[in-house]
Structure formats: structure tokens, C-alpha cells
Amino acid sequence: MALLEVNKLTKHFPVQQGILLSRLGGHVSAVDDVSFSVEKGTTMGLVGESGCGKSTTGRCILRLYRATSGEIRYDGRDVLALRGADLKWYRRNVQVIFQDPYASLNPRMTIREIVAEPLVIHGIGTREEQKKKVQELLEVVGLNPEHISRYPHEFSGGQRQRIGVARALALNPKLIICDEPVSALDVSIQAQVVNLLEELQKEFGLTYVFIAHDLSVVRHISDRVAVMYLGKIVEIGDWRGLYDRPHHPYTQSLLSAVPVPDPVKQRERQRIILEGDVPSPIDPPTGCRFHTRCPIAQFPICAEEVPELKEIAPGHSAACHFAEPQPIKTQHVHGGSGEVIGAPAEG
Amino acid sequence: MSTLLEVNGLQTYFDTIDGVLKAVDGVTFSLDRGATLGIVGESGSGKSVTALSIMRLIPMPPGRFAGGDIRYEDRSILEMSAAEVRSLRGNNIAMIFQDPMTSLNPVYRVGKQIGESLRLHKGMSRKSADVRAAELLDVVGIPNASQRAKDYPHQFSGGMRQRAMIAMAVACDPDILIADEPTTALDVTIQAQILDLMIELQQEKDTAIIMITHDLGIVADMVDNVMVMYAGRPVEEGTVDQVFYDPKHPYTWGLLDSLPRYDVDDKGRLIPIEGQPPSLIAVPSGCAFHPRCPYARDVCRAEEPKLSNLGDGHVAACHFAGSSGFVRGSTAGGAA
């Protein structure tokens, strides 16, 4: 059974205009009609560029933001309706690891205080038991348990992220939202933390929602992946299908834009270069939100009709009127803003 | 092709309360006209300080040049007077910084900022500098350039700001363009646009580029030669093919192995480099990488390895580089 179900989740942020007499000037639709489910013990990757709504989705699941509409179910229970003790129960089971290991640890607290804080809040154990638990946790994440009374500034970035992981594990959660947990780290350290997360998942049967902009890291750690653009999921599927046979033109161009650390492959590869920037989410394009940058958009349909997520293979869906599989290694298109430049040839 | 820039045994140190910080310690490379050199390494490996040293932008004190030389067209940059350096910067050697948000002045119009170097170096009038600035914005792909030149930086998106930075850098047709993590702050689709633009401009003007990055994908994509740095020292230098397909230094092996690859079919476990990068104030004895190196022996702890020539311009600073039987993944038991 799915541990987490997100159904038609929508989050709008109001935009204030004016300084003295501020009034509502519309809204940013940060997340729009997002649905996915995560099976117990698996990892769901959310990937996309800045402003695509991946972090907002994570924060809605955590109840750090109040969703505008839609439904979130955890273990069959309606998360958005939880109150009081029930909400506390939820927060014991669902934890978070943040991106910036420098900003997410209070510099004036010792490691012991930081990692024990969830235990204190939830009233678990005596002071001595809490200390023992903190030491165990530090051991689990590969830190020296003797460093318990040090402060965050005495640790490097990778070590700090391990402290963040230890804190997230303190309450034996079942689901962890990882919001860009490795993007602030150097590659050699990033690999250490990715391995740690994978080991912990095996050991404790954890479920992850892994939010990142790095497509290679997401592919590595995820079982299923959802690609987001301007608040919407444009394609979702298991990692192999999505990376080997991406159907949505945005997924295709995203994948083709990532340089591969292999000079010969890189020389042979053709990139689809999208023109322009991501439009403002305050006034997103009509129809398909990607149509202003899409290399295969056709008019008027793409500018008028919002494409539904359609299943194109078992467990693999794309939201495009003209979704077609494109093995990304053999791409030969140069994207234009809205004009069709020949059908991309396969093979 | 002729050698344009030569860096020889460069040492840039900083005097701090805790001791001497050896940010760059013995960097050596040369750059030909029209070529692209990639400098890779993790944070604190000395990539940016190398770039700033070439531009003579190191604050002194606390910084100082403790040794070595940087020669541009056979003139020593380190010995130039302040006035000579000023006429070099922006004119012959220009730099693109990582963060286009903080490197543009928020209170000046974009066009004015681009025109500044034209007025300084080329003696253009206010008017003609404005016209040229608009042309440059057009060249770097900003639509409606003559209007947008009158905008302030906050009216530009991240990608457009980086384009404006590039316009500013190429305004005086420099021989060398130093790009310090030019796309790190940008999304991948915008990164692809910017890298494409840089390659295009390079081919047009035969500019040499020093590309500083931690992203091995970008290195594979656009450079000719690579220098891998660790703890302020170069550990391996060679052509991009030599370094990617026949790397000789255990640190380079570690870097390549720790990357998740989406172009490789199976998802094996990542092989990280254990431990943490060293403090540059207390660099480990001998080879700076030895505490993290699975192949380290006694000699590595005692003696600092020199850059040794492995043929065809491929060099590595490892006692065992090139010796037979010393191959990637051969033994992880060397440290025991």
C-alpha cells in the first residue's frame, strides 16, 4: 500500500502589491494539481528547475505550508485535517532534511541539543536516555559520538549534513522529505551522504521523497521520478523508463542539457537548447505551461488546452499533447521558441 | 598557436591569525591562444585564488605572492605596476564571476556598466559606449537590446544577468577570458545556453578561456586541457581525454568514481572519497591527499610528490603515477 498519497495538490501564494495600501495583486500558483503516491520503503524523486514547485510540494506534505486545495494521505489518514495530538503523531513519523547545512543548524546549540531537540519536544526518554540516543544516532550517521558537545561551526559541510540526518532520524520516522540534501556539498562528500541515505533506507525501511535539481543524483537514488515545470508534473515514471525513454519534450531537453562527464560521448551528443527563461508563475502561459519554450509545440492546441497526464507505458505518464519517446542520446533538434523545426528523428 | 599565459610554480599565501594559509601552492600551467583550460577541484582547492592571482585581485595584505610567476605575453604580471595591471584587466584578461547577482552593481544601468570598460580602455565617448553596449547585449542574445541596456540589474533574470556579465567581459575583445563557475548559480537549461554562447564567442574571436568549475560534465563538454587541483596544488594535468580516460592520480580516480552518472546504465553504489579535505593551514605532510588515499604508503606521508611527466604533456603529482601495476581500483589494501 502507498505510504504517502498526494492528490491534486495545489498551493497558491498571495502576491501583495503596493507598500502603504497593500492589496492583493493576484497569486503565484506554485504547485498546481500535483498527484503522486509513494510506496513504503521506496524513494520518489522530484526534479525540476528553480521555481518549479518541488520544494513547495515537500513543504505542503510536511504541513509547513497550508495547501490551498487537494488531498494528502499518509498511511491512509487525511494529513490536511490532522489537529493537535494527531498532528504531533504525524510529525513524529514524517521528518525533513534541509538543503543548507549551514542555515539549518542553530549555531548556538551543541550537537547534543540539536539532535536531542525532537526527543525533547515529543517528551521521549529522560535526559540520560536522550544523551545515549544522540550518541547512537551520531554513530549511525558516521560521526564520532564523543563530539556531542561541539558546535556546528566546528564541523565541515558534509559532517553538518550528517548531523541534519541524525536529527531527522531521532524520532524513528517512516517518511523523510529530503529537500536538496546534497546540492551544497562537494562531489566526493556528496557521494558519502548519498550512500549514507541509501544505507539508512535499507536498515530502517525508510521512505524518501527526494527533492533535487541534479538529474544524475535523482536518477541514482530514486525508484520513481516526477519531473516538474512551473508547478505541474509534466512526466512521472519509474527511473529507468523516464531516463531511457523520456516522452515529454521538457524532460528530453532537461536531460540533453546536463553535460555528461565523458568527453567522447559529450562531443557526439546533440543538445536541445531551450530558448528564453522560465515564465513567471504569477501569470503562467495558458494551455500547456511549457508551450512558450517547447521545440515541438503546435498551435493552437498547445496554447489553449491543458494537457492531461496520460499513461504512455505501465506506470509512466506524460502531460503532452504530442508526447513521443525520444532516446535522448540520439537527439538532433535545436529548439526554438514555439516554432517547429522538423520532427526529431529517432535512431 | 602560441603560448599566451604561463603560470609557473605560483604560490599565493594568506597570513592569518592561525598561521599561513597556503591557498595556492605550486600551480603550473600554460595557456595557448584560442585554447580552453579547465581547472577542476572541490571547494578550497585553490581554483578561484589561482584566477584572482592572475587578475592581481588578491587583497594584500593578508594575501601575498610567496613564489612563482605569472607571465602574460612574456611580461610578468606579478611585477607590473598598479597602472599596468589596470590597463590589463578587462582589456587583455577579463573575468566572469559565479554570482551574476552580486557582481553587477545594482544602482547602475546595465548598459552603463558594460560601457565602463570601453570608456576606460578604448577611450570611447559616453554616447558611443552606450551604442556599443547595446550591440554587445544583442550579441549575447538579449532581445530588444537597446531598450534593455537601460534596465537595472534587478530587472534581468539570472540567465540574462550572466549574459550581461559575458557582454561586459568580452567588450574589449580580451585575449583571455577567465570564467569562475559561470553557471553554478543557474538552472541546467540556462547553463546550456550560457556555455553555448561562450563557445560561440570563443570561436569567433579566438579567445583563450580558463574555465573554473567543480562540474566534470562541463569540463568534458568544453575544455581542451584540464588541471585537477587538491589542497592548493595541481595533482594532475593533461588533455581532457588523458584525464578522463587514462587518469593517473588517485584523487582524479576518486572524483570520477564518486559521480552518479545518468549516462551509465546500471546504478552501482557510489564510491566516495573517504574523509574530509584538509585545512590549508595545516596541510598534511608529504602528499596532501595521503590521509584520504586508499593507496598511500610510507613514502606518501614523508615526501611531497613532484609533478612527473607521463608523456604527451600528461603530468601527475603522485609517487606511483605511471608505475606498472598501479591502476585504478587495483588495491584498496594499500593503506592497511
Q: List pLDDT tens digits, range A33-50.
A: 999 999 999 999 999 988
Residue B129 and residue B242 in one domain: no
pLDDT for A342 beyond 80:
no
Confidence of residue B250 (pLDDT cuts 50, 70, 90): very high
ipTM of the complex: 0.83
Residue A284: DSSP 8-state? P
Residue B306 and residue B206 in one domain: no
Query: What is the number of CB-based contacts under 8 A between chain A and chain B?
Result: 127
In this prediction, residues A151-157 reach a mean pLDDT of 89
Asked which of A90-94, A304-308, B107-111, B328-332 is least confident by mean pLDDT, the reply is B328-332
B166 or B325, greater pLDDT: B166
Partners of residue A221 in chain B, C-beta under 8 Å: 260
Res A185: pLDDT: 84
In this prediction, residues A197-214 reach a mean pLDDT of 94
With pLDDT > 90 as the criterion, what percentage of chain B qualifies? 51
Confidence of residue B172 (pLDDT cuts 50, 70, 90): confident
Q: Is B332 exposed, middle or buried (0-12, 13-18, 19+ CB in 10 A)?
A: exposed
A261-299: per-residue pLDDT in tens?
A: 888 888 888 888 888 788 888 888 999 999 999 989 888
- Measured between CA atoms, the residue of chain A closest to residue B266 is A220
A219 touches chain B (CB under 8 A): yes
In this prediction, residues A311-339 reach a mean pLDDT of 66
Closest CB to A215 among B262, B273, B274: B262
The amino acid at residue A309 is L
pLDDT for A345 beyond 70:
no
Partners of residue A191 in chain B, C-beta under 8 Å: 258-260, 270-273
Residue B161 and residue B298 in one domain: no
Listed residue (B51, B38, B29) closest to B217, CA to CA: B38
Res A20: pLDDT: 66
Q: Is B317 exposed, middle or buried (0-12, 13-18, 19+ CB in 10 A)?
A: buried
| Half-sphere exposure in the Cβ direction for A32 (13 Å, CA) | 21
Of B223, B245, B266, which one is at a domain's C-terminal end? B223
Chain B interface mutation, best of A54, A147, A186, A214, highest count of B Cβ atoms under 10 Å? A186
In this prediction, residues A3-30 reach a mean pLDDT of 83
pTM across the whole model: 0.85
pLDDT for A218 beyond 50:
yes
B200 touches chain A (CB under 8 A): no
A20 or A59, greater pLDDT: A59
Of B170, B196, B223, which one is at a domain's C-terminal end? B223
A 10 A CB-CB count for B156 gives 20
- Measured between CA atoms, the residue of chain A closest to residue B142 is A276
Of B223, B257, B285, which one is at a domain's C-terminal end? B223
Is A231 in a helix, a strand, or coil? coil
Domain that holds residue B257: 228-335
A268 touches chain B (CB under 8 A): no
Q: Write out the three cell numbers for A124.
A: 521521549
Confidence of residue A21 (pLDDT cuts 50, 70, 90): low
Q: B270 and A220 in contact by Cβ < 8 A?
A: yes
Residue B63 and residue B166 in one domain: yes
Across chain A, mean pLDDT equals 87
B175-218: per-residue pLDDT in tens?
A: 999 999 888 878 888 888 888 888 988 998 899 999 999 899 99
- Measured between CA atoms, the residue of chain A closest to residue B43 is A186
Residue B200 and residue B263 in one domain: no
pLDDT for A335 beyond 50:
no
Closest CB to A219 among B218, B262, B271: B262
pLDDT for A333 beyond 80:
no
B128-146: per-residue pLDDT in tens?
A: 999 999 999 988 888 888 8
Q: Write out the three cell numbers for A131.
A: 544523551
Confidence of residue A326 (pLDDT cuts 50, 70, 90): low
Residue B302 and residue B157 in one domain: no
B81-101: per-residue pLDDT in tens?
A: 999 999 899 889 999 988 777
The contacts of residue A309 (CB under 8 Å, 6+ apart) are A35, A233, A236, A317, A318, A319
Residue B219 and residue B245 in one domain: no
CA A138 to chain centre: 26
Partners of residue A187 in chain B, C-beta under 8 Å: 42, 214, 216, 255, 258-259
- Measured between CA atoms, the residue of chain A closest to residue B159 is A277
Q: A219 and B240 in contact by Cβ < 8 A?
A: no
Please give the tally of structural domains in chain B: 2
Residue B195 and residue B142 in one domain: yes
Task: Provide the terminal-to-terminal Cα distance of chain A, rounded to the nearest Å.
Answer: 39
Residue B145 and residue B43 in one domain: yes
The contacts of residue A302 (CB under 8 Å, 6+ apart) are A287, A288, A291, A294, A321
Across chain B, mean pLDDT equals 88
Residue B208 and residue B243 in one domain: no
Residue B205 and residue B263 in one domain: no
B269 or A321, greater pLDDT: A321
B159 touches chain A (CB under 8 A): yes
CATH code at B111? 3.40.50.300
Residue B89: DSSP 8-state? B
A 10 A CB-CB count for B136 gives 24
Partners of residue A220 in chain B, C-beta under 8 Å: 260, 262, 267, 270
Listed residue (A79, A69, A58) closest to A9, CA to CA: A69
Res A22: pLDDT: 65
A105-153: per-residue pLDDT in tens?
A: 999 999 999 999 999 999 999 999 999 999 999 999 989 998 999 999 9
Rounded Cα distance between A119 and A98, Å, is: 19
pLDDT for A252 beyond 70:
yes
